[in-house]
Amino acid sequence: MHRRAAALCLVGLAASLSAQGQQAQALSAPPEGAYQVRRGDTLWGLSDKFMNSPLHWPELQRTNAVPVPERLKVGQWLKLGSRAVVLHVAGSVLMQRAHEPEQAVAAGALLEPGDVLSTGRNGFVTVGFSDGSRVVMPSNSSAQLTEADGRHTRLSLRGGSIESHVEKQREREFEIRTRTYALGVKGTHFRARAEGGAEALEVLDGLVRVTELDGAGRSTDVGAREGIALGARNAALEVRDLLPPPVLRVSHDRNTVEAQAVPGAAAYRLQLANDSSFLQLAAESRGQLPQFALQTLTEPLDTGFYHTRIAAIDAQGLEGRPSEGVTFVAPMQAPMTSEAQSAGGGRWDIRWTTRQRPGHTVFELATTPDFASPLVTTSGAFASGVSVGPLQGPARYYWRSREQAEGESSSPTVWGGSFEVPPP
């Protein structure tokens, strides 16, 4: 009798546990865009992974009412808050949230759905998302973040242009909307434009589906190296090949970037960035010829090396495939001439016009323009240059020299350049 009762109790307990488990499973259905904690997870690590900085962990703690940050429960769901963060800002960039007045935005700022970013005449901003995707807004552009929950990312381009680097992810959607079209992708590199009443799409890599928002809802696919001018409603959706990249030319003029003309080009655009991925734009310019004098930019650039990108623009306003290079921006007081010549045997002579007054010079040579690991660092009172080597090729080498005149307390004069060493 007692055994039977005990057995019934055990059966009842098991049923109760099963019912509780089903109820708990139902209650633990994931909120939209939430994350389920796994063994080894920490708020610090999750903040770094999904919010692009570990320093946002207190926000995760507050949002999810975590009593002890060091003791996350495996299986619990966390709302990760903002899935978009400002990664880079240069020049004038403003953000407007809800009905609040516009305010300047800085790198590290978290964005919420509804936020509007606007760049000024010489402003640039880069936004990162939790899946690794990035968008870059150049000058005179405006876009609104409408959704960013980890599964869906949507932006509305109000004006100007936006360049997107979208990571390939399953079960995730990335979309940019213009006034009349939706541009949906799964993983690609493309540019969207809404300038002067005209809209356009240029795909550099991957595939973008273009869908008309009103009317018949027409759609078409635009592949790599293709573009489409999105004109008035009911206009033909004509996909065109993008213009080829211009061939860069070695300029003999200081602070000048130039390329060969491209047949069919109506204009050209130059962009300068601090990084080779062009996620940290520093300046841009547009002209009818593929020759740009950097001293005419709206804002002066700091002395140093910059990555350059030139693209041709056709008569329909489609920007073509870019050519990329590196240039050295010299200050106005820098020497007028400099050159690197092979001296044979893998050695190279680097010469420049020094200042009239004697001074102390620091010379560096590296294989990257950031000089993270210089091959040569030497100092002295160089009369007209240095000789380095033997250097191995094929490779591009970068050099810079900082000269401080005797008796001067001002910043040293800095100049530099690069040269290509051919294979042996």
pLDDT tens-digit readout, 133-183: 899 999 999 999 998 876 788 999 999 999 999 987 666 789 999 988 999
pLDDT, residue 257, reads 93
On whether the CB atoms of residues 334 and 416 are closer than 8 A, the answer is no
Instruction: Tally Cβ neighbours within 10 Å of residue 190.
Output: 24
Average pLDDT over every residue of 90-119? 92
* Single-letter amino acid, residue 33: G
- pLDDT score of 55 more than 50: yes
Sign of CA pseudo-dihedral 261, 263, 267, 271: negative
Q: Where are the beta strands (DSSP E) in 56-99?
A: 77-78, 84-90, 93-96
Supply 17's token pair.
Answer: 């546990």
Q: Which domains does the chain have, with CATH numbers?
A: 33-81 (3.10.350.10), 84-197 (2.60.120.1440), 248-329 (2.60.40.10), 338-421 (2.60.40.10)
Using one digit for the tens of pLDDT, what is the confidence trace for 231-270?
766 677 899 999 999 999 877 667 889 999 999 999 999 9
**pLDDT at 130 (0 to 100):** 76
Mean pLDDT for the stretch of residues 386-404: 89
Mean pLDDT of 78-82: 67
392 or 299, greater pLDDT: 392
Residue 52, pLDDT score: 61
Mean pLDDT of 32-60: 76
- Highest mean pLDDT: which range of 207-211, 213-217, 300-304: 207-211
Q: Strand pairing of 134-137 and 152-166?
A: antiparallel
Q: Is 294 a residue whose pLDDT tops 60?
A: yes
Q: How far lies 312's CA from each of 187, 223, 340, 374, in Å?
A: 25, 19, 30, 35
Question: Rounded to 5 degrees, what are φ and ψ at 193?
Answer: -135, 145
Q: What is the dihedral of CA 49, 53, 59, 61, to 10 degrees?
A: 50
The model's pTM is 0.77
Task: Give the Cα separation of 373 and 100 in Å (integer).
Answer: 46
Question: How confident is the model over 214-221, as a mean pLDDT?
Answer: 82
